[in-house]
Amino acid sequence: MSLRVRLLISYLAIIAVFMCIIGLVLLLLVSGVLRNVLYRQLDAVADTSLPLIVRAQLLASDTPPEQFRQSFERIADSRDVRLLLANDEGIVLLDSAMRPPRWNILQEGTYQPAPTGLRGSWTDDRGQTWLFVARRPLPRQDETLRRRAWFIFATREPSRREWFRQYLARPLLLASGMGLLLAALLAWLISRTVARPLQRVADAAHAIARGDYEQMVPVSGPTEVRHLAQDFNRMAQQVQAGRDAQRDFVANVSHELKTPLTSIQGYSQAILDGTAADPESVQRAAGIIHAEAERMGRLVTELLDLARIESGQAVMRQEKVDLSYLLENVIQRFRLRAKQAGVTLASQLPDLPAVIGDGDRLAQVFTNLLDNALKHTPEGGKVTVTARLLTPSGAQRPKKAGPQAVEVAVSDSGQGIPPQDLARVFERFYQVDKSRKQSGSIGLGLAITREIVEAHGGSIKAESIVGLGTRFTVILPVGTP
């Protein structure tokens, strides 16, 4: 069922419910007014009919003549009322409804004085209630008749159902018809503003399901629909990015495996077919095969490590880690290498509070960063490791870092990273210097580093100026991540 039909049905249901409520309220509140309305109608009939009856020259006797009876009934029919003649004690002498006379209307019913006579009601033997007004002739017409006769004008009181059908059904049906037209108009308008944007989102979703990932929907409609369109566009972009990343991942893994496999295959074939016959050639071929096998093993190990961290399967120990001591140890392991490369390795490490996490994994983070910094720093350059405590008012404190956080920065004075590459340095297999592939670099170090830092509730960012150097900043929360 379409949204337009659902809206129309819901509006019709609301209109029907409200019409029923309105009708019930009117029945309860206005039914008491009905008698007053009918009494006023009877008063009006009496005012116009009483002179006609008097002019019929009613004789002062218990049995009026037949001619007067015919006039009496004719007046009742023309006024659409029940007309009765009663004596002063209330005994009915003549009834246009042909009920046998000699019954007492004042005893069988209830009445009260009215400005022009009496007003009341009675219930007949069928259970039907009749409302009546009783009038005496005007004094100037017949003083004797005035003292001895009541002219009674009566009408049947309709039931609530009859009253509803007679007085309320038509206006309510008219209002319902207008409500139906309004509901159809509203359903059409809302369906245009809501259903059309939703249909665009649905069509785009079907296109993505068919494999067309380049889908963007216009942001329009009510606030909720606009939010849906915005979220869908973000989702589509993420799906596209994930698909591209998956494609790049497969291509990168294939490429990284192709080179060592080619080398292993070529040198092993040289050994098998006797091309590498002398011991020195065999030794050299075996060494290359061993190195390429180690490279493949390192690739597989780092891929598995990255996959476990991303999926949350890698267990991170939760223990207090002396960050100052950890950083000093990592720096100490690189001092000889920095000296050999002609690079100055400096540090500025104040006393830092303990962090909660896995010491080995955190050491892996700063080892990767220092390794990259030394690889990119030329002879005569400088690599600096600094740390400081971020207080709650610190401008660089991340929201998820808790009340305090530690910032550790690794800076180098290398060539820097171009802006187009800076945003991708944490991607798997991405390498700014493509020539590093020949040096055994795989391009997974920074991706693993980021995953470890985020697993500890921290964050990492890269800043660089081409020609001046690069700075990697790690922020770790103090306390439980």
pLDDT digit string, tens, across residues 297-356: 877 777 777 677 766 666 678 889 999 999 999 999 999 999 999 999 999 998 888 899
Q: Whole-model pTM?
A: 0.47
- For 207, the token pair is 């296109």
Q: State both tokens at 463.
A: 């800043």
Residue 194: per-residue pLDDT: 72
Domain annotation for the chain: domains and CATH numbers:
3-164 (3.30.450), 223-310 (1.10.287.130), 317-477 (3.30.565.10)
**DSSP structure class, residue 134:** E
For residue 400, pLDDT beyond 80: no
DSSP 93: E
Nearest one of 84, 117, 131, 77 to 103, comparing CA atoms: 84
Task: State residue 397's pLDDT score.
Answer: 47
Amino acid 213: pLDDT: 76
pLDDT tens per residue, range 161-205: 777 777 667 777 787 778 777 777 777 777 677 777 877 888 888
Predicted pLDDT at 107: 87
Q: Predicted confidence band at 369 (pLDDT cuts at 50, 70, 90)? A: very high
Across 90-111, average pLDDT: 84
Name the nearest CA neighbour of 475 among 409, 390, 407, 410: 407
Q: At what angle do helices 3-55 and 169-190 cross, to 10 degrees?
A: 160
pLDDT digit string (tens) for 8-65? 777 777 777 777 777 777 766 666 677 788 888 999 999 888 888 777 654 444 445 6
- Residue 307: both structure tokens together: 């996959």
- What backbone torsions phi and psi does residue 320 show, to the nearest 5 degrees? -70, 130
| Percent of the chain scoring above 70 in pLDDT | 81
